[in-house]
Amino acid sequence: MKFIGLTPEIFWALLGGMAAIVTLLYVLKMRRRRVTVPFSPMWSRVLASKEATTWWERLKRLISLLVQLIFVALVVLALADPRPEEEQLVGRNIVLLIDTSASMAAIDVSGGVDRLDIARHEAQKVLDSMGPDDSVMLVTMDGQLRPLTPFIKESAILSQQIKDLKVTATPADIRQALRFVRDAIKGKGKAEVYLLSDGAFAQDFNEAAAQLPREIKFSHVRTGESGHNVAITAFNVRRYIANKQDYEIYVEVRSYFEREVDVELKLFAEGSLADIKAIKLAPGGSELLFFPDQGFGGKQLMARVELKTADAKDVFPMDNEAHAILPRARKTTVALITEGNLFLLAPLVLNENVDVKEFKPSAWTPKLAEDYDVVVFDRFTPEALPERGNFMFVAPQGPGSPWPVNGVIEKPTITGVKKKDPLLRWVALKDIEFAATAQKMTAGKGDEVAATSGADPMILSRREGDRSLVGLAFDIRMSDMPLRITLPVLMINVVDFFMNDENSLVPTYRTGTAWSIPVSKEAEVATITDPEGVAHQVPIYEGKAIFYGEHIGIHTIKAGPEEFLLAANLANPRESGIAPPPELVIEGVEVATATSGLSFVRREYWIFLVLAAIALLLIEWLTYNRRWTV
């Protein structure tokens, strides 16, 4: 036992002094008052009275003295404020770091709705254990770090904030979280960190924890029990350029079970079931499914996976659904810069999904690259190429060519073909005959060569920043290509290559990342409404709205005159791996694994001492009035 109200010296001096004073008061004899009375017999009796000398009378006075000494002792003890030896007297600086990432929505825990619910209960235990000198900071961790309070002593106000915490569909960034903790506790004594999490980020924890000071007191309260899960980890849909009524879809389904399980994949278009497929997944395995030539109506597509193994349970339903938006069926605009090449114009004009306009080389301006999706240069190369756009070069020449031209290829023939190149899908080139020379171009770093004549490229492509390029080293008029189906198919593939990311494929965004959303350049602010119906005002910079996504589902984007939909999914194999690790390890630091026994409750004994002193006064009053001690 130790005293925090009085030092031991003052305590004993005060106790001894008070006891001496009380004893002295009891030692003093009663002084009788002189009273003049007119009746002599009464006066005689007064003179005849004397001090009681029996042992019982003396004992009664000793009991009264003892009661007073006990009362003095209780009061002095209350002033000394006694505390247990193990109780901390220096205030602690506590960081409550609560994981609100996607995996905390798993429903594998006992005694709670989900993992976050268990974390709430454990966090409240820490708050209940705080003393008057302790300070606490509440921080949530998911894809973003959110310090909800500074260090405060009024822990009661945090209870409602903890109850209001919600899971976001984002992965936990433990590196950022522990960097913040390191900076927050710098220069503060008695620092304690309580990490309330399933620890599904264990692969990043060791590196992140290395930056913490060794003297820190760290506790990891694990909230997960199981890792059983099946998930959709990739999902998208693209429209064919040649046939804009059909789509191709790919879906990746992954299992996190340690045994083989049966699942069922369903595809929905505008809420109606469109396709269904049974899948058998190996332990910890995945399967990539491809659905070609799918015809759907409407705008929204959804995939859902369901576990069909009877004795297995999927404890993480958040990643069982994925969404996609069907690409808009608009025509691709093409500007053809040529001196009347009908062979090149014809396959573009005949394609009902392409809107082409012919220009003379003298009419070329960089603004055409802004007004048209694709620009085709036929035997013409501008001096300077815009930084953004899609450009095709047929027999490029001059210093402005993206590929240096070093002479010509005599009697070219196609000798090498990269069959998997998207430019050569359904294209046969090896029997093409050329009646003239071809440009001897030099491929650069990062170029994809689709076809060659010996060692020289004949068809190649390049993607650099916001610009995409395709080059043909030969003049198609000087070949038999216009007489074959090869030319229109090749031109469709070229347009498909350029528009793959813009028109035929609408990207599904991953939650927990900053989205760069192309919007109308006329707008200054975009309004993004998330799946929960909350509208966010987002500024636009260089034609793009930057928004941090936290919710799975369909978002509505409105910017200036345009309004469109955007799909967001978790699509994170690591976050879907929800199995909690056995323990988290920090080199040189003992990591506790529970809240019980890690914090101390202030025991206010002085209150009971004061109550005991009051009770003693009542007892003395009763004995005095009953004449038991007088």
* pLDDT reading at 507 higher than 60: yes
pLDDT at 419: 87
Tell me the per-residue pLDDT of 149-193, one tens digit each, with 9 for 90 and over.
Answer: 999 988 888 999 999 999 999 999 999 999 999 999 998 878 899
Comparing 504 with 166, the larger pLDDT belongs to 166
d(CA 103, CA 107): 10
- Neighbouring residues of 370: CB distance < 8 A, sequence distance ≥ 6: 386, 388, 389
In the numeric block, which tokens belong to residue 228? 């059983």
In the numeric block, which tokens belong to residue 212? 């913490």
How sure is the predictor about 257, in pLDDT bands with cuts at 50, 70 and 90?
A: very high
Q: Please identify which residue in the block is written with the tokens 């001897």.
A: 440
Of the listed ranges 309-318, 350-359, 501-510, 575-584, the least confidently predicted one is 501-510
SS3 sequence of 267-288: EEECCEEEEEEEEEECCCCEEE
The gap from C-alpha 509 to its chain's centroid, in whole angstroms, comes to 14
What's the one-letter identity of residue 332?
A: T
pLDDT at 294: 62
Strands lying side by side in the sheet with 261-269: 272-281, 261-269, 300-307, 321-325
What share of the chain in percent tops pLDDT 70? 86
Q: Are strands 93-99 and 82-83 parallel, antiparallel or unpaired?
A: unpaired
In 3D, which of 418, 414, 364, 409 has the Cα closest to residue 391?
A: 364
d(CA 76, CA 609): 9
Tell me the per-residue pLDDT of 523-568, one tens digit each, with 9 for 90 and over.
Answer: 889 999 999 999 999 999 888 899 999 999 999 999 988 888 999 9
Comparing 132 with 346, the larger pLDDT belongs to 346
Please give the domain boundaries of the chain with CATH numbers for all domains.
2-86+605-625 (no CATH), 93-227+578-592 (3.40.50.410), 230-329 (2.60.40.10), 332-499 (3.40.50.880), 509-569 (2.60.40.10)
* pLDDT reading at 281 higher than 60: yes
Average pLDDT, the chain: 85
The size of the chain, in residues, is: 630
- Neighbouring residues of 189: CB distance < 8 A, sequence distance ≥ 6: 90, 93
Q: Within 350-485, where are the H helices?
A: 367-371
Q: Is 3 left (phi over 0), alpha (psi -120 to 50) or beta?
A: beta
Question: Does the reported pTM lie above 0.85?
Answer: no
Comparing 202 with 273, the larger pLDDT belongs to 273
| Helix (H), strand (E) at residue 97 | strand 93-99
Tell me the per-residue pLDDT of 560-573, one tens digit each, with 9 for 90 and over.
Answer: 888 889 999 999 99
Contact call for residues 493 and 317 (beta carbons, < 8 A): no
Of the listed ranges 189-193, 354-358, 509-513, the least confidently predicted one is 189-193
Report, as an integer, the average pLDDT of 114-138: 89
d(CA 394, CA 376): 8
Torsion of CA 105, 106, 110, 115, to 10 degrees: -40
Sign of the CA dihedral running 220, 221, 225, 228: negative
Torsion of CA 68, 73, 76, 79, to 10 degrees: -110
pLDDT at 55: 52
pLDDT at 624: 67
Tell me the per-residue pLDDT of 460-484, one tens digit each, with 9 for 90 and over.
Answer: 999 998 899 999 999 999 999 999 9
Tell me the per-residue pLDDT of 291-333, one tens digit each, with 9 for 90 and over.
Answer: 875 666 567 889 999 999 999 999 999 999 999 987 666 678 9
